[in-house]
Amino acid sequence: MSPQPNKRPGRTIRSVQIAFNIIDLLQEEAGIGVTRIADELGHSKSTVHSHLRTLEERRVIVREGDGYRLGLRFLDVASHVRDQIGNFDIVQKEVDSLAEETGEIVQFGVEEYGMVSYLHKAQGEHAVETLSRVGTQQPMYSTSLGKTILAYLPPERIEEIAAAMEYEPKTANTITGPEELFEELETIREQGYGIDDEENINGLRCVSAPVKNDETILGAISITGPSSRFTEDRLHGELADYVRSAANVIELNTKFS
């Protein structure tokens, strides 16, 4: 489905794989039972049964009606994860207020596995609905968040990620190769912000600004909107200013922690 950058081999444990296949399945479709899961995954019912028992005992999944769904425990896990990321509340506050102020979609992303993961998202008044969702992943080369984060990663990490990239053209404007990408990264470093000009989704443009702590990049904050409202002038002008100052606020608040 998506490129797998850090593919290190090593031994991997089958039962755990199966368990997570079940979890993945239940994430997509709740309320299914043993038989259905067994069919879907190509395992015997008895195998799936044992797994469901284990997951149930662990309170990872819950019986509901006839079928299972993921347990609320995940909400707890998620909030722990947010805490672990550090400074989440600061990021949240700033993202929310920028969304409120501009009425557009504002997102904060960090790098994980050579992709951008959305840590927080807020939509203002006239929000365009986008498919992105907190916790999901997007390629780095086709999003302003991704390119901006990439631009400020240590050179060897950039190489590593770029080497594992598979450039899939999502629109006519998508970056299609390394040379184009490196050039873009250079531009971003020069101007201090990154642009996505309908490179990921047709009709949508974004600007992102990096959030750094000293010299290490923590993530990036972006603002997204329809090309009609997001003209080239505004992108490089006030919108870029918005994200840069928001990034700045986060940096200042996060500096001494």
Which residues contact DNA (rule: CB under 7 A)?
A: 10-16, 18, 33-36, 42-47, 49-52, 66-67
Shortest distance, position 44 Cβ to a copy of itself, whole Å? 13
Shortest distance, position 62 Cβ to DNA, whole Å? 13
Shortest distance, position 105 Cβ to a copy of itself, whole Å? 16
C-beta of 53 vs 80, nearer to DNA:
53
**Among a copy of itself, DNA, none, partner that 216 touches (CB below 5 to 8 angstroms by kind):** none
**Gap between the Cα atoms of 138 and 179, Å rounded:** 20
**Among a copy of itself, DNA, none, partner that 82 touches (CB below 5 to 8 angstroms by kind):** a copy of itself
How far is residue 87 CA from its own chain's centroid? 17
The structure tokens 């509901």 sit at 64
Return residues touching a copy of itself (CB under 8 A): 6-8, 10-17, 19-20, 23, 27-28, 30, 49-51, 53-60, 62, 69-82, 84-85, 110, 112-113, 117-119, 133-136
Shortest distance, position 255 Cβ to DNA, whole Å? 24
C-alpha gyration radius of the chain: 21
Tell me the pairing of strands 216-226 and 105-112: antiparallel
Shortest distance, position 19 Cβ to a copy of itself, whole Å? 5
Shortest distance, position 69 Cβ to DNA, whole Å? 13
Shortest distance, position 32 Cβ to DNA, whole Å? 7
C-beta of 60 vs 181, nearer to a copy of itself:
60
C-beta of 56 vs 197, nearer to a copy of itself:
56
**Gap between the Cα atoms of 31 and 196, Å rounded:** 39
**Among a copy of itself, DNA, none, partner that 112 touches (CB below 5 to 8 angstroms by kind):** a copy of itself
**Among a copy of itself, DNA, none, partner that 155 touches (CB below 5 to 8 angstroms by kind):** none
C-beta of 69 vs 236, nearer to a copy of itself:
69
C-beta of 117 vs 198, nearer to a copy of itself:
117
Tell me the pairing of strands 216-226 and 204-213: antiparallel
C-beta of 24 vs 89, nearer to DNA:
24
CA dihedral (30, 35, 38, 43) in degrees, to 10, reads 160
C-beta of 89 vs 159, nearer to DNA:
159
Q: Which residues pair with 248 in a beta bridge?
A: none
